[in-house]
Structure 1
């Protein structure tokens, strides 16, 4: 088997040279698709959007009701929409992403207080220097323009 054979896998790559069993690109060409999501999950997603919209429509439809009732309708639609979203594979994938992000956030090395002060001071000084620089450039260009057009005193 030669090195250029399409069925030979690269080191660390998937078998078959990066193609799945159907011969398509890795992942089946469905970028961003949630694993295990089917028509029921799509229905949950549509239901979540519909519940949110129903709460918003109810807010305007029942405009004679007390404001607290109308706000409760929106919040109720939002709450039911969130519950419907979390019931789908999309909601479960979002929760998995959120928990993974929290784990990665804990791994982050945050700067110490003196480092934060020093960097902030550097940024302020740099902004001040650039402000003065652009003020001088603007003043020179305005002086030149007035001199050329005869509007200066």
Structure 2
């Protein structure tokens, strides 16, 4: 029981260390971007992208990162299940909305003109 508790405590400390490393990478990248503002923008952007990817890789290895990745994968699965409207349905719905907006605008314009 004591060993399991120590193992759990070590895991939570390691998770905290990972999150601190992620924060350090992101904040360090922002500070470096500001400090090296005279360097070419493409180089700074490339370094920023590399740091962001590295932070994402580290975040994906945490418990919350694994949960987030699982949520993203299940969201993509649900997105594939959606029955999207046909082009004709989309055009018809758009036309109905446009007509209702025009009618509402005309009614409001008429009421506004009547009470002035």
Work out whether 1:89 is the aligned partner of 2:63.
yes
Q: SS at the partner of 2:46?
A: helix
Pair member with larger Rg: 1
- Residue 106 of structure 1 is matched in structure 2 by 80
Q: SS at the partner of 2:84?
A: coil
Work out whether 1:50 is the aligned partner of 2:24.
yes
Normalised to the residue count of structure 1, the TM-score between the two structures is: 0.62
- Mark the runs of 5 or more structure 2 residues left unpaired by the alignment: 1-10
- Deviation (angstroms), 1:102: 0.9
Normalised to the residue count of structure 2, the TM-score between the two structures is: 0.79
How far, CA to CA, are the matches of 2:98 and 2:31 in structure 1? 48
Pick which of 72-81 and 103-112 moved more.
72-81
Q: SS at the partner of 1:109?
A: coil
CA RMSD between the two structures: 1.7
- Mark the runs of 5 or more structure 1 residues left unpaired by the alignment: 1-36, 144-153
Higher helix share: 2
How far, CA to CA, are the matches of 1:103 and 1:64 in structure 2? 45
How far, CA to CA, are the matches of 1:82 and 1:45 in structure 2? 11
How far, CA to CA, are the matches of 2:81 and 2:69 in structure 1? 19
Could you list the structure 1 runs, at least 4 aligned residues long, displaced by more than 3 angstroms after superposition.
none
How far, CA to CA, are the matches of 2:112 and 2:17 in structure 1? 59
How far, CA to CA, are the matches of 2:40 and 2:86 in structure 1? 51
- Residue 147 of structure 1 is matched in structure 2 by none
Of structures 1 and 2, the one scoring higher in RCO (CA 8 A, sep 6+) is 2
